[in-house]
A and B are shown apart, each in its own frame.
Chain A
Amino acid sequence: MPGWIPVSVTIDPGLYNMEPSTSIIPSLTPDDLETPPIGLGQLAWRRFRRHRPAIFGVIVLVLLFLYAFSGGFFFTEKYANFTDTSRRLLSPSAAHPFGTDTIGRDVLARSIYGGQISLLIGLTAVTVETILGILVGALAGYYGGVIDSVLMRITEAMLNIPEIFLLIVMAKFFGGKIPEVAILGRSYSGSVVVIVVIIGLTSWMYLARIVRAEFLSLKENEFVLAARATGTKNLDIIFRHILPNSIAPIIVSATLGVANAILAEAYISFLGLGVQPPTATWGNMLDGANNYLDTAPWLWFFPGLLILLTVLSINFLGDGLRDALDPRSRAV
């Protein structure tokens, strides 16, 4: 997804011998000089508050989550999957505000349940990719040497192939091999798990590089040397000392990663290789949409619009978070 990359790229410090970004040092403003010192968190919140698009993004996101999850109270899942071929392809009306699809299912209800799946996929994929990215980045950055070389070669190898090619190949590799899973009383088709796994497996590299950069710079700091001197175990140092100090870029990256995951799911489902019907997602509601470009534009317009709003508000939010938490690392 070409649009996403420049937003979060930082020049890889290992490559050019440039000074990597340092840890967070709040810039001194007149406010801080005259009032008692406040914590980092509160400072970040203040900066965040001033970022208007970010607030807008948060509001829209909250509304979207409400739409997807509480909409479930207005329509049952059965209704969303209820087919009635005699009412196919009806244009938007009072009974069906978003119209009906090719087998008579209500598009509004499907977009609600589809939203649940899309948002869940976004969040779980980001969890997978964050865990992977932190593990690889931390180990590579902290231990250095051979481990670093090997891990970075693997990272580079995966980065060298455009994400969409990898997604397509992996979707076919895992396709049809994972059965239905039942979580929290609802059953999801195996393809949902597949999508989460492959998105996670193809997006951890960016985070790994960021985390590694952070670790490279932080591990020479005094608090680390002190921890080592008192005999703290390495793993403890990594996870309890260094990691919490580098949490800012991780949060920003994870937030933007949700947007990327939702887009990736949309792309792969649009190609027909993602989540298979009858489970609805915003992406697979767009599958085959260009067959109905002019006859039934409501089929693709509403899911597309919802995806756009979600990704847009996440991008605003991520931008605001970056301003608030990590202003020095801005590349954009």
Chain B
Amino acid sequence: MRLHQEILLTRYILRRILQGIPLLLIISFVLFILMMNMGDPVATMGGRRVTRSADYQRLKRQLGLDKPIEVQYIYWLIGNDWTKVDMDGDGVAETPGTRHGVLRGDFGTSLVNRGTAVLQVIGERIPNTLILMLASEAVVIFGALLVGVYSALRQYSFLDHAITALSFIGYSMPIFFIALLSMYVFGVMFKRWGLPFLPTIGMFDPQVGSSIWQVIYHMILPVVSMSVVSLASYSRYIRSTMLEVMNQDYIRTAKSKGLTRHTVIYIHALKNASLPIATVIGLDLPFLLGGAVITERIFAWPGMGRLFLDHVSRADTPVVMGILMLVAVAVVVFQIITDVIYAWLDPRIRYD
């Protein structure tokens, strides 16, 4: 029986992965079309002046930007090392291409950081965003569990109502408002009042180096800004799930069997409540990448969100596509993982 389950599970995972691939292709094509019409990367290469026309025409040709969209998409996807490109402008394609295409792992080179591979550009910034993401997620999970469970256990008490009200306020706030407020209070005002204050820009002080303490110290305000919204909504979610679970029959049975309150809550109720919680948290993880865009901009955190904004404004298609595809892949992967964990946790689920 167990082997049968495992075979079903494997087939389910494989099926989901196979379903994910055309999805990613559609996404990439749609995004690519959007990219192409969103600005001219060569226009700003002139620095503070308009690019000279001779340079403009040459650069367009050399960077492959003069080709029609479908051709550019194909080069992006499968590379151009199987064909020749016209580098010297005489109309005859003579130089073999050097790109291998996304399907072979080559996301191209950035149009802004000339010569640097897209994966390197992104790779330099991903760890910084991940640090922020994971720390926020940890804060959110622990905080929401604490607050949600406490609130559920003391339903209808004054504290519960207060927490509920605060939660509503919490997830109604725009992230940048929280960020600005916290910057103002903990960065500016504290400094004025002579209290120990928190830094408001960057990940660490370059002259001191990126020690663990520097990073944590600089991380406090951004993580707080990012966690408040999610913490507020998750704590409500946990609270109501706990309440639902606590009203079930088997909890009453457990109580009447004389199990301690402690056991009842933490072993039985929470365990069963964790099922939908795990699902929602798992699905939300990649979307934290989106929430980081605003936070990183305000706090000058050198992460992927800021990279996205900077390169979108200069129409750097390879890097922007790279980031978006990475996010899309992360979302698909996390969805599959979440589905699998959910199915594994809940034996009622069948995978056909």
Report the separation of the CA atoms of residues A5 and B229 in the bound assembly, to the nearest whole angstrom: 11
A160 touches B168 (CB 8 A): no
A3 touches B230 (CB 8 A): yes
Q: A153-B26, A168-B308, A307-B174 are known contacts. Are A160 and B290 too (CB-CB below 8 A)?
A: no
List residues 303-332 of chain A with CB under 8 A from any CB of chain B.
304, 307-308, 311-312, 315-316, 319, 330-332
List residues 180-234 of chain B with CB under 8 A from any CB of chain A.
180-181, 183-184, 188, 229-230, 232-234
B297 touches A271 (CB 8 A): yes
Residue in A1, A3, A172 whose Cβ sees the most chain B Cβ within 10 Å: A3
Report the separation of the CA atoms of residues A3 and B140 in the bound assembly, to the nearest whole angstrom: 11
Report the separation of the CA atoms of residues A5 and B240 in the bound assembly, to the nearest whole angstrom: 16
Note all chain A residues with C-beta closer than 8 A to B164. Answer: 53
List residues 270-297 of chain B with CB under 8 A from any CB of chain A.
276, 279-280, 283-284, 286-291, 293-294, 297
Q: A153-B23, A156-B23, A307-B174 are known contacts. Are A294 and B349 too (CB-CB below 8 A)?
A: no
Which among B180, B188, B308, B309 is the interface contact of A289 at CB below 8 angstroms? B180
Note all chain A residues with C-beta closer than 8 A to B283. Answer: 5, 9
B232 touches A3 (CB 8 A): yes
| Nearest CB in chain B to that of A313: its residue | B172
Which among A4, A162, A263, A271 is the interface contact of B309 at CB below 8 angstroms? A271
What is the distance, in angstroms, from A197's C-beta to the closest C-beta of chain B?
Answer: 13
Note all chain B residues with C-beta closer than 8 A to A331. Answer: 237, 240, 276
List residues 298-348 of chain B with CB under 8 A from any CB of chain A.
298, 308-309, 312, 315, 320, 323-324, 327-328, 331-332, 339, 342-343
A286 touches B176 (CB 8 A): yes
A163 interface residue, CB < 8 Å from B?
Answer: yes
B237 touches A163 (CB 8 A): no
B169 interface residue, CB < 8 Å from A?
Answer: yes
A1-41 vs B, CB cutoff 8 Å, 1 = contact: the mask equals 11111110101000111000000000000000000000000
B290 touches A165 (CB 8 A): yes
Q: A165-B308, A315-B168, A316-B168 are known contacts. Are A7 and B289 too (CB-CB below 8 A)?
A: no
Report the separation of the CA atoms of residues A193 and B308 in the bound assembly, to the nearest whole angstrom: 25
B174 touches A304 (CB 8 A): yes
Q: A11-B279, A173-B38 are known contacts. Are A16 and B174 too (CB-CB below 8 A)?
A: no
| Nearest CB in chain A to that of B28: its residue | A157
B27 touches A160 (CB 8 A): yes
B248 interface residue, CB < 8 Å from A?
Answer: no
B177 touches A2 (CB 8 A): no
Report the separation of the CA atoms of residues A297 and B283 in the bound assembly, to the nearest whole angstrom: 37
Report the separation of the CA atoms of residues A293 and B176 in the bound assembly, to the nearest whole angstrom: 12
What is the distance, in angstroms, from B26's C-beta to the closest C-beta of chain A?
Answer: 5
Q: A53-B168, A173-B34, A173-B37 are known contacts. Are A162 and B174 too (CB-CB below 8 A)?
A: no
B47 interface residue, CB < 8 Å from A?
Answer: no
A272-312 vs B, CB cutoff 8 Å, 1 = contact: the mask equals 00000000000000100110011001001000100110011
Q: A162-B327, A165-B293, A168-B309 are known contacts. Are A266 and B174 too (CB-CB below 8 A)?
A: yes
List residues 130-187 of chain A with CB under 8 A from any CB of chain B.
153-154, 156-157, 160-165, 168-170, 172-173, 175
Note all chain B residues with C-beta closer than 8 A to A173. Answer: 34, 37-38
Which among A7, A11, A16, A156 is the interface contact of B233 at CB below 8 angstroms? A7
B115 interface residue, CB < 8 Å from A?
Answer: no
A247-272 vs B, CB cutoff 8 Å, 1 = contact: the mask equals 00000000000010001001100110
A161 touches B23 (CB 8 A): no
| Nearest CB in chain A to that of B308: its residue | A165
A290 touches B291 (CB 8 A): no
Q: A153-B22, A172-B38 are known contacts. Are A165 and B237 too (CB-CB below 8 A)?
A: no
Q: A169-B38, A170-B34, A308-B169 are known contacts. Are A293 and B188 too (CB-CB below 8 A)?
A: yes
What is the distance, in angstroms, from A35's C-beta to the closest C-beta of chain B?
Answer: 27
Number of interface residues of A (CB under 8 A): 53
Report the separation of the CA atoms of residues A325 and B171 in the bound assembly, to the nearest whole angstrom: 23
What is the distance, in angstroms, from A193's C-beta to the closest C-beta of chain B?
Answer: 17
Note all chain A residues with C-beta closer than 8 A to B331. Answer: 160-162
What is the distance, in angstroms, from A208's C-beta to the closest C-beta of chain B?
Answer: 16
What is the distance, in angstroms, from A91's C-beta to the closest C-beta of chain B?
Answer: 15
Note all chain A residues with C-beta closer than 8 A to B294. Answer: 164, 267, 270-271
B101 interface residue, CB < 8 Å from A?
Answer: no
Note all chain B residues with C-beta closer than 8 A to A9. Answer: 280, 283
Q: A3-B229, A267-B294 are known contacts. Are A300 and B236 too (CB-CB below 8 A)?
A: no
Report the separation of the CA atoms of residues A17 and B12 in the bound assembly, to the nearest whole angstrom: 14
B63 interface residue, CB < 8 Å from A?
Answer: no
Report the separation of the CA atoms of residues A307 and B181 in the bound assembly, to the nearest whole angstrom: 14
Note all chain A residues with C-beta closer than 8 A to B232. Answer: 3
Report the separation of the CA atoms of residues A154 and B168 in the bound assembly, to the nearest whole angstrom: 32
B174 touches A332 (CB 8 A): no
Note all chain B residues with C-beta closer than 8 A to A270. Answer: 174, 176, 294
B43 interface residue, CB < 8 Å from A?
Answer: no
Q: A157-B26, A263-B174, A311-B172 are known contacts. Are A2 and B291 too (CB-CB below 8 A)?
A: yes
Which among B240, B287, B320 is the interface contact of A2 at CB below 8 angstroms? B287
What is the distance, in angstroms, from B349's C-beta to the closest C-beta of chain A?
Answer: 5
B291 touches A1 (CB 8 A): yes
Note all chain A residues with C-beta closer than 8 A to B298. Answer: 290
Note all chain A residues with C-beta closer than 8 A to B184. Answer: 293-294, 297
B39 interface residue, CB < 8 Å from A?
Answer: yes
Note all chain A residues with C-beta closer than 8 A to B176. Answer: 266-267, 270, 286, 289, 304
Q: A271-B294, A332-B236 are known contacts. Are A169 and B23 too (CB-CB below 8 A)?
A: no
A164 touches B327 (CB 8 A): no
Residue in B168, B284, B308 whose Cβ sees the most chain A Cβ within 10 Å: B168
B251 interface residue, CB < 8 Å from A?
Answer: no
List residues 128-169 of chain B with CB under 8 A from any CB of chain A.
164-165, 168-169
Which 7 A-B pairs give the minimum distances between C-beta atoms?
A162-B290, A3-B229, A3-B171, A312-B172, A311-B172, A172-B38, A304-B177
10 contacts between A and B (CB under 8 A): A3-B229, A3-B233, A4-B233, A53-B165, A161-B27, A290-B298, A293-B183, A308-B172, A312-B169, A331-B276
Given A173-B37, A263-B174, A315-B172, 4 other A-B residues pairs in contact with their CB atoms under 8 A: A2-B288, A16-B343, A271-B309, A330-B240
